[in-house]
Amino acid sequence: MADLGKRNGYQGVAVAVPVTVPYTRYSTHGAHWFIGHALKALIDNSGIDKAEIDGLVVSSFSLAPDTAVGVTQHLGVSPRWLDHVPTGGASGVMGLRRAARAVQAGDAHIVACIAADTNHVDSFRQTLNSFSHFARDATYPYGAGGPNSMFAFITAHYMRQYGATREDFGRIAVSQRANALKNPNALMKKPLSMDEYIQAKAISDPIHLFDCVMPCAGADAFLVMSEAKARELGLPHALLHGAIERHNAYADDPVMVRGGWRMDRDELYAQAGVRPEQIDFVQTYDDYPVIVMMQFEDLGFCEKGEGPAFVRQHTLTHDGTFPNNTSGGQLSIGQAGAAGGYVGMVEAIRQLTGAAGPRSVAQAKLGLVAGFGMVTYDRCLCTGAVILGSSTDPRAHSHSLPPEGAHASFEAARQEA
């Protein structure tokens, strides 16, 4: 019974075919347009017939009043497994977790995971006002700053508590910009110096311009299938080694100083059979640099409060000592709504399948992707993370061995049941 609290493992699940529908600052198209483009790209890039895609998970804010099911008729697909994951920055991790289980259970063979949002000229303001009941009642009427003011609270509090400086956050933003210059899809095309970061105009003190993401339109997507299927189709793929999620963690902390990753990280690493220092790159969720720093701490790369020292000790570019957000992240690519929760996922798949071009992390075998989503009141509620591995990494094959302890395989669990 001691194992009841443990998740079953994610053995045998592959992620493949990362696609990005190019981002634009504004678009006159609707969300369906971007979802359609993403699905077409998945099909074109994989050679899989549209009818063979029998699972679909969709994340989008601008799809309303439709949900994923409306997408099926709009795009003429008939999946036998469907999910709608409206959790913004956590949607990539959560979509993958759900799709992985569907594949393990045989509910679907090939699941298309798609996050897409459009951005009209007044979309952002309207999204903020109607984002949640709590936001409508208890935050939006206070300056209508959206998440900027809440993360200004969190950042100011963190700075005072742990002695972080704006330069520390600047290291994160500046490194990501360097990565973004090697990503043709990034909307930010100019280098960013520390001086420019510091001198940027104040938005909601201590949040300045380059601490904020730029809302835009676009889509990201990938396919989830069994490892065997990926091999059969000859698709370059990465393997899922572990995955966690947690919601409304540490609700009694008066101001957010830690995220739910912390509650589940031991199990994440245990599932994957690795330690944090073995991870070759991380794709943190970067709505604001302070959250990136918290992830370094809460995912176990350093202790709580050591985030500032950690970023001073490391170089964070793709060729640095601790590669973080190698595609530039949302801070430099742009945030296409829910696709912001997919940016790290598609980049991790690219890194692990040798498709990251000039921003490749040398010999990347293991990557960690974190998600963070949904500020309904004073903090983000959803946290999640996955560890992905290269399909050529010998560690990957250790997981096909008979399971023990926390790594009970799905089949073993089913037999027990």
Partner 1 sequence: MSPPFPKPRPKNPQLRTPQLTLPPASRGRVALGLTAEAAEGRFALQVCEECGAVQYPPREACRVCLSHRLRWKAQAGGGVLLTSTTLNHSNDPYFRDRLPWRLGMVQLDVGPSVMAHLHGDVALPTQPGENVRVRVTTRLDRSGKAVMVALPEQETPHMSDDPLLREMGSDPRYRKVLVTDGKSAVGQALIKALIAAGAERIWAGQTEPWKAAPGLDELAKLPQVTLVPLDVGQERSVIELAGQIGGKVDILINNAEMHRTFGITGRRGVEVARAEMEVNYFGLLRLAQAFGPVLRARAADGPAHATAWVNLLSIFALANWPAQGTFSASKAAAYSLAQALRADMRGSGIHVLNVFPGPLDDEWNQPMPPPKLAPSALANAIVKALRDGVEDIYPGDIAQDWLTRWRDNPKVLERELSAGAM
Which CB atom, from 33 or from 153, has the smaller least distance to partner 1?
Answer: 153
Percent helix, percent strand, percent coil in the chain, to nearest 5: 45, 20, 35
Residue whose pair of structure tokens reads 């409508």 in the numeric block: 136
Can residue 190 be called a binding residue for partner 1 (CB under 8 A)? no
Torsion of CA 158, 164, 169, 175, to 10 degrees: -140
Can residue 377 be called a binding residue for partner 1 (CB under 8 A)? yes
Minimal distance, residue 212 CB to partner 1, in Å: 9
With CB under 8 A as the contact rule, the residue among 145, 273, 276, 320 that binds partner 1 is: 145
Hey, what are 352's tokens?
Answer: 């692990």
Compute the Cα dihedral for 349, 352, 355, 358 and give only its sign. Answer: positive
Minimal distance, residue 149 CB to partner 1, in Å: 5
With CB under 8 A as the contact rule, the residue among 23, 81, 140, 261 that binds partner 1 is: 140
Which CB atom, from 204 or from 283, has the smaller least distance to partner 1?
Answer: 204
Hey, what are 73's tokens?
Answer: 């008729």
Minimal distance, residue 255 CB to partner 1, in Å: 5
Which CB atom, from 267 or from 306, has the smaller least distance to partner 1?
Answer: 306
Can residue 124 be called a binding residue for partner 1 (CB under 8 A)? yes
By the 8 A CB rule, do 49 and 43 touch?
yes
With CB under 8 A as the contact rule, the residue among 138, 194, 228, 355 that binds partner 1 is: 138
Can residue 202 be called a binding residue for partner 1 (CB under 8 A)? yes
* Cβ neighbours of residue 166 closer than 8 Å, sequence gap 6 or more: 159, 197, 198, 206, 208
Q: What is the DSSP letter of 360?
A: P
Please provide the distance, in angstroms rounded to a whole number, between the alpha carbons at the two ends of the chain: 12
Of the candidate spans 53-61, 196-204, 229-237, 266-274, the one that interacts with partner 1 by CB under 8 A turns out to be: 196-204
Q: Which residues in 388-407 contact partner 1 (CB under 8 A)?
A: none
* Cβ neighbours of residue 65 closer than 8 Å, sequence gap 6 or more: none
With CB under 8 A as the contact rule, the residue among 103, 108, 154, 345 that binds partner 1 is: 154
CB-neighbour burial class of residue 378 (10 A; exposed 0-12, middle 13-18, buried 19+): middle
Which CB atom, from 63 or from 154, has the smaller least distance to partner 1?
Answer: 154
With CB under 8 A as the contact rule, the residue among 11, 118, 149, 176 that binds partner 1 is: 149
Which CB atom, from 144 or from 355, has the smaller least distance to partner 1?
Answer: 144
Of the candidate spans 2-10, 53-61, 130-138, 166-174, the one that interacts with partner 1 by CB under 8 A turns out to be: 130-138
CA 205 to centroid of chain Cα atoms: 26
What value, to the nearest 5°, has the Cα angle with vertex 326 and ends 320 and 330?
A: 135
Of the candidate spans 71-79, 139-147, 168-176, 283-291, the one that interacts with partner 1 by CB under 8 A turns out to be: 139-147
Can residue 144 be called a binding residue for partner 1 (CB under 8 A)? yes
Q: Three-state DSSP class for 8?
A: coil
> What is the β-pairing status of strands 55-59 and 237-247?
unpaired
Cα–Cα distance, 341 to 220 (Å, whole number):
9
Binding mask 240-269 for partner 1 (x = CB under 8 A): --------------xx--------------
Which CB atom, from 74 or from 136, has the smaller least distance to partner 1?
Answer: 136
Can residue 133 be called a binding residue for partner 1 (CB under 8 A)? yes
Q: How far is CA 89 from CA 173, 300, 361, 381, 392, in A?
A: 18, 20, 24, 10, 29
Binding mask 5-44 for partner 1 (x = CB under 8 A): ----------------------------------------
CA 198 to centroid of chain Cα atoms: 27
Minimal distance, residue 117 CB to partner 1, in Å: 17
Which bin fits 190, alpha (ψ -120 to 50), beta or left (φ > 0)?
A: beta
* Binding region for partner 1 (CB under 8 A): 124-125, 128-130, 133-134, 136-146, 148-150, 152-154, 156-157, 160-161, 201-207, 254-255, 377-378
